[in-house]
Amino acid sequence: MTSLPSSVDVAIIGAGAAGLGAVHALHGSGLSVIVLEARNRLGGRAWTVQASPEVTFDVGCGWLHSADKNSFVAIARRLGFELNKDLPPWRERAYGNAFPQDQRDDFMRAMDAFYERLWQAAQKGKDEPASLSLEPGNRWNPMIDAISTYINGCELKDMSTLDWDAYEDTNLNWRVRRGYGALIAAYGAPCPVALNCNVTLIDHSERRLRLETPRGTLTADKVIVTVPTNLIAQEAIRFSPPLPAKVNAAAGLPLGVNDKVTLALEDAETLPKEGNLRGATMRTEMGTYHIRPFGQPCIEGFFGGSFARELEDAGDGAIAAHSIDEIAGFLGNDIRRKLKPLCESRWARDPFARGSYSHALPGHAGDRAVLAAPVDGRLFFAGEATSPTFFTTAHGARDSGERAAKEVLAVSGKR
């Protein structure tokens, strides 16, 4: 474990993708740098586990979105991580009769029409709830809302139309065979990181900044804050003197909830690799299932929004139990004996995340720029929520860390 220095030029708070992007960008600058991480591991909301000897599971982010513009693609190649370019199982590869093709086609037409209306609303510059673009009375509205919970971590009523429009999606989605979390941990391996080092206070009242942690106090000339918005909004990390503009901006960019579960699957060969399973359930409270990702003997379930929060509140194992019930409803009761819970996430209950990734509340699309702005040339901000176009993603977080590091170098007279 890296020991805690009493003084550094630059302290970076958080060893997720943003903090690691920042420390890499400061390498070779001549500045002394330390990353302070509350957890006992690197990666933050990127975390790969070996759920069983046969199943590698990304508990957090798993897809390299916008892969042709994703900075982790080059990093994966440099570090020798195999990339998987198979098509995602979202629109194609439906399995079973729970969602017949004619209904799927009808649903896709309704969803595409919704996105067209949402785009039209954004062109008018109205930062209104995305739910206003739903067609009143459309039978597919609850399922369109379910898709929003998977993508945004929230229902459409809580999502800003302008923020949705700002996101850049090139529709190229790749994966890392050994896990996205494993890639990000490898990216951070050479970095100076103090683990189990939760920063609770940033005192910026004097010339040098003072940071309080359970492992002691340290001072720094500059600080880069990369923690999730909910920690700033709920003042788990406090600023002295207070920074109400930052706290308010973070509150306008709350973390939605996305949770995942992986279930071991016996007799896996009887089901297709990389299949997609969901039903025409006409409700927002539903999961979507990925059958045998990478051909592994498992089914992954994915839940979002207030339903994911409810399942977390129901206690450990509730996500797996609901998944097995829902899958049995689609494929028949015989499947129950073939499924066994391996691992599930509970991101809203994670004390150092308190959610999955940010969405701007209606009227708050401008808060990303407010949160990203430096304070006094000494306090800098990064993290996925500060990315102007790649928010919610690991590469957006990494790139924002690099941007904050460049801001530090500019005010330090370094290049």
Q: What are phi and psi of 275, to 5 degrees?
A: -85, 160
Place of tokens 């586990």: 49
**Burial level of 97, CB count in 10 A (0-12/13-18/19+)?**
exposed
CB 356 within 8 A of CB 228: no
The pLDDT value given to residue 122: 97
β-strand partners of 4:
none
Residue 384 pLDDT: 98
At 329 the pLDDT is 95
3-state secondary structure of 173: coil
The per-residue pLDDT for 281 is 86
Q: Which residues of the chain have pLDDT under 50?
A: none
- Domains of the chain, CATH where assigned: 7-47+177-254+358-413 (3.50.50.60), 52-56+65-71+84-173+255-349 (3.90.660.10)
Report how far residue 168's alpha carbon sits from residue 165's, in angstroms, rounded to the nearest whole number.
8
- Give Cβ neighbours of residue 375 (< 8 Å, ≥ 6 apart): 204, 243, 246
Which pLDDT score, from 0 to 100, does residue 101 have? 87
Q: What pLDDT, in 10s, does the model give residues 143-187?
A: 999 999 999 999 999 999 999 999 999 999 999 999 999 999 999
- Structure confidence by residue, pLDDT tens digits, 67-92: 999 999 999 999 999 999 987 876 66
Q: Whole-angstrom Cα distance, residue 160 to residue 163?
A: 5
pTM of the model: 0.97
The pLDDT of residue 415:
63
pLDDT at 81: 98
